[in-house]
Amino acid sequence: MMYPFLTLDDGTEIVHSEMLLDARVKVYMERPDETQGFIHATCFLPNCEWEDVSGFSETEIERLQDVICSAAHLIIP
């Protein structure tokens, strides 16, 4: 199950999972996009490991990482 966490000013929705069996938490981001439908990315905490990034620029991922890693203590149970 995914839980809502934050909506950024650019419309990016951030949701997260419960603690997974491997002691990580999956954080998923997506935003509507005119040409691609939705762009998305997945980050696993606590190490901020990124996977499946599609459509976000490097600058946007850096911003998302700042947001997620600075708020990790609110996400990780």
How would you write the pLDDT of the chain (77 residues) with one tens digit per residue? 999 999 999 999 999 999 999 999 999 999 999 888 999 999 999 999 999 999 999 999 999 999 999 999 999 97
Spatial distance between the Cα atoms of 59 and 74, rounded to a whole number of angstroms: 24
Which two structure tokens, joined as six digits, stand for 65?
């990482």
pTM comes to 0.92
